[in-house]
Each structure stands twice: as structure tokens, then as C-alpha cells.
Structure 1
Amino acid sequence: MSPDGLWSIGELAGRAGVTVKTVRFYSERGLLPEAGRSSGGHRRYGAEALERLRLIRSLRGLDLSLSEVERVLPGTAGVRAEAGVREEARVRAEAGVRAEALEEVVAAELRRVEARLAALRWREASLRLVRDGTAAERVERLRLIGAVAVPPDTDAMARFWRRILPVRLPGRVVSLVVDAVVPRPPREPDPEQVLAFARLHELVTDPRLAGAEFRPAPPLPDGEYRPAVLYEGLAEAYALAAAEAEVGAGRGAEGGGALDCFVSAYAVARGEPDGAAFRRRLVGWLAVHDGPVIGRYWKLAAGLFAPGEPVLGVLHHQLSVALRGQVRAGAG
């Protein structure tokens, strides 16, 4: 250090490997502690300023904004460091970090980085999708992926379900249904998942769905029924089917377990007793409700759910098939 144990602004800049302009800028922002002033009124700095400057450079190197740096590092005007005591200066500089603010700004930056990485992964898979297609497929695929944001969101799918769910369904149940039936975009998609997502987006945003002839049928025919009871009962049936794998093992058609819970959801919602006659009618209702739009939705969405994540459309289809098999066996 200089004879007085302090550094000029130029000496501090040289030790830190930055420009004098940089040191002056951070000093004027109140981020660097001044140890004193020269007889001519020039700023003088101690070891603590060097440690603080290194902290600032580290934070800026993590791409944190100046305002975020100022949240993490409190103002230091008037703080005096003991000259030459480097370890104590380092400890004081680090102790001046607002731990809670540092945690918050780092978490926020991580979220931004993750979003950028997700966009890059999606873009890479999209490029591979276009590259690997035929000349005719490339044009169609460009059109499809061009309609999807990067990284993609699921707002259009959520609106699709909110539009077709019964109007009398409580908001709490609507949110539960939407969360369960809308797949989250894969974190590391392959080209086929990008294509499936783009086609699913095209399906749910098709303007023809506004017409009655393309609108999915209600879950039960016209008449009095309790939507909340139906959807809550179906959620229980799907959970049971997923947990016990009854339908996949072929036991659902024998009655009991998930299949009985599935039928009961419809019966209780209608206020009717479960029996052979009701089950025959339910087979007909399900055939109408599980029309081409919903069927295509689940065909496209199935590969977008995470491995091991229950796919309600698949479970519903399996339970419906099991019910048809049971009804046919009873009729025979």
C-alpha cells in the first residue's frame, strides 16, 4: 500500500483489474467503502474496498443487474477499513452481504437461466424436427411450430378445457381438472414431442371448435346431474386405477375397484342406482362424449406427460373399454 496504508482510485483499479471509470462509478453508487480522503480531497481506499469490488464483479459476472447488486450489498459510505488487514477486510466485506437478498436474486436469475435453457432445448428439437422431415413435411412443420411460443406455454390448452367443462363446475374443481389434463411441456423435448405439442396446440385453437358440430359433448346427456360430484368421483376412480393398475392388468372388467368407482361417479352424479341397466346406458353416453376431438387430444397429449405420471385420458379410455367388456359379457 501507499505510505499511509491506503490506495488511490487508480491504485485500487489496478489491483482489481478494472478501469478507474468503473471504480468511480461504483463509488458514486455508494457500493465501495472509502477509507478517507487525501489532502486534495481525492478518494482513498483500503483493503475492504478491494474485497467489496471483487464481490461486485462476481455478482455482475453472474449476470445480475446493478439494481440486484445494490439489493445484495448495502451502501458503505463512511465505513473505514483498517489498512493492511486483508483477512479481516474480506470478512467485513462478506459480512456486509444481505443474505436474504442474495438468495432471492440468485433464485430469480436461476429461473431466468432455466427459461433460456428451456427455450434453447425447444429450439434445438424444433430444428431437428424440420431437418428430419421430407420437403413437404418441412413446410407443414414450420407452420405448426411457428404458431407455438418458445419456450411453449399451455395457456391455449387450459382455455380449451375451461371452455368445455360444465359451467356449473366450481372453480376449485375446474383448477384441479385443468392441472390434471394439461401436460407440461417436456424440459428436454425430442422432435416427436415438439410435433405432438404443436399439433395439440393447433387442435385446441381450431376456430371450428366454436361451432356446435365440433364442440365436445357434455360428460352426461341433458338432465339434472351434479358436475362437482361427477368430476370428484372420476378423480378418485382414476387415482385408484393408476395406483392398483387394475385396468391394465385386465381386472377392471370383473367389477370392483376402479371400475366400480368409475361407474359410481356417474351414477351418484345422476342420482341413479348403479346396476346393469345403468351401465348399459353409460356405455352409450361415454361413446358420445369420447368423440373425435377429445380422442385426438389424448392421442397427442399422452406422450407429453412425464414418465410415470398418470394420463387421465388413457385411464378413462381403459375404464370405458373395461365397462364395455363387462356389459357385453353380461349381455352374452
Structure 2
Amino acid sequence: MDGTTRYSIGELSRRTGVPVRTIRFYSDEGLVPPADRTHAGHRRYAPAALRRLELIRSLRELGISLATIRRVLSHELPMAQVAGAQADAVDVQIRALRLRRSVLRAAAARGTGPEETTLMHRLTQLSAAERRRIADDFLDATFGTGRDPDAAAMVRTALPDLPEDPSAEQVAAWTEIAGLLDDADFRERMRRSAGHQASGRPLPVEALAGDEVTRQVHDALAGARDAELDPCGAEGAALAGALVRRLAAACGRAPDAAFRAGLTEQLAVVCDPDVERYWRLVWAVNGWAVLPRLVPVHSWFLRALRGTDRDLSADGPGAAGDGPGDA
């Protein structure tokens, strides 16, 4: 092929697969200038135009803008620099696509409506700094300046942090957490619960029962919680009954309705199902193993006391002799 070889715009299109209209646009922009024109004014291109057009098409398929391609072709920018910048941009696009996929899968799995799906999408689009601001606002509103610093520190060390490539479950958990953080009533309940946890103070009934009995009760509750024993089932009710009787005996009280009511009231002050739910959502978002110490063992006990109409002072499975520490 010599230097006199010329292609018409139609032949250039057939050889490259680039539409005639696009080649004409590139020519008008000076990216693929014609070598000359026929007497009738039709554009004719040298073989170099074929290679140049294939290069432009490849770079466009890689997502590089025409303005940047112009600078590459004119040697204003090195191709390596452009490729590196474009790779970084593609990484951002991939993350965005993965987030979309996770939102859609979460919406499909949960059967959410348009509004909740939109909310999930909006929350996942927040930057890490914006998500941190939401968490900081929650801490400031919950604990204030200098109020209960130990509780604030405990909550801060386990703030949720959505990963770069979250699963559908993590997206759903983060959405639920965001709703809790914005709830004024939840903030008050978190302050109360976290304050009790951080203080390490026993409940009044535990202080009266003594350290040994309290330890035995806590061990039994932790075992029931970790074994995922249903607090409202027959076995859970039996264990709760045994623990009520053990505490009552240590306090010199009868395990009657009045004692159970007082115990339930004390547990309700420091336990909250939404707070426990929050901690479990945090584990899911952060991808952590279960951290039982962050969930008060009293939560299981409270649900057991509230979830059964059985007379927990009655004899039956788990009655005196079956409680913790009787082995």
C-alpha cells in the first residue's frame, strides 16, 4: 500500500464498523482529518486515518472522553496517565453498580415498596464522611457533651461502617440502623441502656441477691441467649422460672407476682428490644462476629417474663434444684 491509497468515508466505515455519521463528526472535530477531497468535494482518507479511527473507537469503548482523546492524539497527555485515571474512574463505577445490585437484591428479598427502595438507594449513596456525620449526630443527641462519656465511648467504638462492596443484607441493615439513629425515642432508650451497661452497676435486685447468685443468673442467661433458646417457649419459661425462684430466695422474698412485677420493671429500665436489634444490625453491617457483651443478658430474661402467662413460682421443669449453680 503506497502513500496514494485513499479511502472514501463509506469504505472507512465498512472497514472499521464506525458509522459514517460518526466519522464525519470526528472529521469535523479534527480528530480524523481527511487527506484530501475529490473534485466533487467528497472526503478521502489516508491509511493512517484507518488506524487513527480504530484507536479512537477503542479509547471511546474504554470510556475515555473525546476531549481527553484529542490531547492523547496531540501528545499533550501520556496514554499511561490517561489509562490510570480511567481505571480509577472505572473502580468508582464498579462500586456504584455493586451498590445498585445490593439495593435491588435487598429490595427483592424484603419485598419493599418504592419508597423504602428509594430510601435504601439514597442512604447507600452517602459518602463515608456523610455516614459518619449521621453517627456523630446520633452520639451528640444521645449523650451530649460530656454526659456519660463511658457509655458514649462504648457506643462509638462499635459504630456501623458500611463497606465498599456491601451485601444485600448489609444494605438492609444499614437502612434500618439509619432509621433508628434518627428516632428521638430510640436515642433516649439507647442512652439509658448504654449507660447501665457502661456503668457496670447491678440491678437493685441483683445487688440484694449478691455477687454469687447474680453471676450464676448471668451465666444461665448468657447460655440461653447464645443457644438461641426461645424465651417464650416451654424450655425458656422453665429456665426463667428457676431464675426467678433463685433470685427471690437470695433476696428473702417469695417468687410471687409482686416479685416478678418488680423484677420486670427493673429489667425494662435497662433493656430494650430495639437497642438489642441495633447491636445485631451493627454486627451485620460491620461484618463482625457476634459480640454478646454488647447485648445485656437481661434482654432474654425480660422477654421471658413478658412472654409467658405461666406462674413462674410453680413447680415444674426448672423448679428449685434445676436452676444455675445447683449442679
Structure-2-length-normalised TM-score: 0.50
Select the structure of larger CA radius of gyration.
2
Higher relative contact order (CA 8 A, sep 6+): 2
